[in-house]
Structure 1
Amino acid sequence: MTITQLQYVLAVAEHRNFTLAAEKSFVTQPTLSMQVQKLEDELDVLIFDRGKKPISITEVGKKIVAQAKNIVAEAERIKDIVDQQKGFIGGDFSLGIIPTVMPTLLPMFLQNFLNRYPKVNLTIREQNTDEMIRNLQDGHLDAGIAATPLEIEFLKERPLYYEPFVGYVPKTHRLANQTELGTEDLEIDDVLLLQDGHCFRDGVINLCKSVGGNTGDNFQIESGSFETLVNLSNEGLGMTLLPFLNTLELDESKKQNLRHFKAPSPAREISLIYHKSELKIQIIEALKEVIASVVRGAIAFQDVKIISPLNKN
């Protein structure tokens, strides 16, 4: 039994197709199939039922796949131990970032990080939270940046910063004359939301629920971008809420429509999340240090109340 064989088993288990598994593993299909068959012969069991399409995993195969994940992860940890001992920060690293954070945060830290750690081959993927969690569990991401707390058993969360919500209130809106907003001012039927699937949307809905608003089930206008929500607000279709970093690039005419909340301001917690196995922890620590340092100066708010992204009552 070899680590390579276990890696091939994991590839087949994921893709349920030998040809695709071989392609993703950068080997020929006969080579991969032969190694998987060799492992099955050695164990005297069938890991995969090849008679079904897509290929299915046998009951004993499911247990083998689960153990293979642990073994492969522990094998990779050996290289981590050596890298940490040498003080080496480099190699391949895949990072997921949620869509409501990526456009504002990435330009703030990316060049700084690459300059400081040129030996890290960083791959960045925009993903929603659910997809990110699946990829972290399956080992397709090394870390992610998401709104927390998530309360996922196999994940660790390291807060990076706390980002206040800011109201965008057009001149014709009922709240336009207020210099500050209170959470009690919010009415869910009057707040333009991101479309379903964005954790910031869930945070806004939970904020409105916390002050006795309805669930927003009769809400009609939703969008995939904050820019669209701002434009719709300017057309008199309601107000909206923005993450603080998204307000920094607004032009001066639009900034006049911003309204901050009275302390403690509702805010979201943005964290670096990663598997509890802590693979490539030296790169994770480097990312945390760089991101926290660049954002600290941009967000001056201290008195905040964290709004959970979890859609809880």
Structure 2
Amino acid sequence: MTITQLHYVLAVAEHQNFTKAAQKVFVTQPTLSMQIQKLEEELEITIFDRTKKPIQLTEVGQKIVQQARNIVNESDRIQDIVDQQKGFIGGVFRLGVIPTVMPTLLPMFLGNFIKKYPKVKLKIEELHTEAILEKLKEGHLDAAIAATPLEVEGIKENPLYYEPFVAYIPKDHKFNKSDKLDVNDLDIDDMLLLEDGHCFKDGIINLCKASKEYDDEQLQLESGSFETLIKLANEGLGMTLLPYLHTLDLKESEMKNLKMFKDPVPAREVSLIYNRSELKMQIIEALRSTIAGVVKGAITFQNVQIISPLNKQKEFNS
């Protein structure tokens, strides 16, 4: 049994196709098939049911794939140990970022990070939280930036910053004349929301649920972007909530429609999350310190209440 064979098994398990798996690991399809067959013969079991389309794992194959991931991760750790010993910060690093963080945070830190760590080859994907967790579990991401707490087994969460929610209220709305909003005044039926899959939407629903009952059948008007929500609000179709960093680039006319909340300000916790195997920790720490350095000057709120996608809240005083 070899590490290479286990890499081949993981590729087929992911793609459920020998040809696509061979392309992924840069070998010919016959070579990949032969190596997997040799492994099956050595173990005297069948890993893949080749009669199914797409190819499926057998019952024992599922257990082997789970163990193969552990073995491959541990073999990668050897190179990781060497890199850390040498103080080397470089190589390919695969980072997932949720959509509501990508457009605001990335421009703030990416240029600095690339200049400071030119040997790191960042591969960044915009993904919803569910996809991020799956890719972290399968070893297809090294780390991700997501809203937490998520409390997922095998995943570590390292908070980067706490980003307040800000209300966007058009001029003819009943709350427009208010100085600061009270969370208890929020009405989910008057709220424009992001579409399903966005954890920021889950956070808003959890925030509103804390004070009022809601009927999710009434959540009619949803969009995939904050820009669209702002336009809908300007048309008098309701109010919306925005992450604080997103408000920094609004037009001057739109800035007038922003309202802060009374203390403790509702906020989301944004964290760097990664597998508990802690591979490539030198790059993860480089990312953390770079992001913390640029965000510290942008967010200065002292008293916030963390609103989790899991409907769990906690107080934080910086």
* TM-score bracket relative to the smaller structure: over 0.9
Q: Does the CA contact (< 8 Å) of 1:205 and 1:216 recur in 2? A: no
Distance (whole Å) between structure 1 residues aligned to residue 33 and residue 52 of structure 2 = 16
User: Which residue is 2:160 aligned to?
Assistant: 160
Q: Alignment partner of 2:267: what SS?
A: strand
User: Which residue is 2:151 aligned to?
Assistant: 151
Q: Alignment partner of 1:283: what SS?
A: helix
- Displacement after TM superposition at 1:46 (Å): 1.5
Q: Deviations over 1:123-171 (max 9, x none)?
A: 0000000000000000111101000000101100000000000011111
User: Which residue is 2:84 aligned to?
Assistant: 84
2:300 pairs with 1:307: no
Q: Alignment partner of 1:156: what SS?
A: strand
- Displacement after TM superposition at 1:239 (Å): 0.8
User: Which residue is 1:251 aligned to?
Assistant: 251
- Displacement after TM superposition at 1:311 (Å): 5.3
Q: How many residues align?
A: 313
2:30 pairs with 1:30: yes
- Displacement after TM superposition at 1:238 (Å): 0.9
Once structures 1 and 2 are overlaid, which stretch shifts more, 125-134 or 57-66?
57-66
Identity of paired residues, percent? 68
User: Which residue is 2:316 aligned to?
Assistant: none
User: Which residue is 1:268 aligned to?
Assistant: 268
Q: Deviations over 1:82-119 (max 9, x none)?
A: 00000000000000000000000000000000001000
- Displacement after TM superposition at 1:312 (Å): 7.2
2:196 pairs with 1:196: yes
User: Which residue is 1:285 aligned to?
Assistant: 285
Once structures 1 and 2 are overlaid, which stretch shifts more, 70-79 or 34-43?
34-43
One-letter amino acid of the counterpart of residue 285, structure 1 = E
Superposition RMSD in Å: 1.2
- Displacement after TM superposition at 1:215 (Å): 3.8
Distance (whole Å) between structure 2 residues aligned to residue 81 and residue 19 of structure 1 = 34
TM superposition score normalised by structure 1? 0.98
Q: Alignment partner of 2:278: what SS?
A: coil
Q: Does the CA contact (< 8 Å) of 1:169 and 1:175 recur in 2? A: yes
Unaligned runs of 5+ in 2: 314-318
Distance (whole Å) between structure 2 residues aligned to residue 234 and residue 12 of structure 1 = 50
Distance (whole Å) between structure 1 residues aligned to residue 170 and residue 138 of structure 2 = 45
Distance (whole Å) between structure 2 residues aligned to residue 52 and residue 184 of structure 1 = 54
Distance (whole Å) between structure 1 residues aligned to residue 312 and residue 244 of structure 2 = 23
Q: Deviations over 1:250-280 (max 9, x none)?
A: 0111101100011110000000000111111
Q: Does the CA contact (< 8 Å) of 1:187 and 1:213 recur in 2? A: no
TM superposition score normalised by structure 2? 0.96
2:135 pairs with 1:135: yes
- Runs (4 or more) in structure 1 with deviation over 4 Å come to none
Unaligned runs of 5+ in 1: none
Once structures 1 and 2 are overlaid, which stretch shifts more, 214-223 or 78-87?
214-223
Distance (whole Å) between structure 1 residues aligned to residue 191 and residue 58 of structure 2 = 50
Distance (whole Å) between structure 1 residues aligned to residue 294 and residue 35 of structure 2 = 48
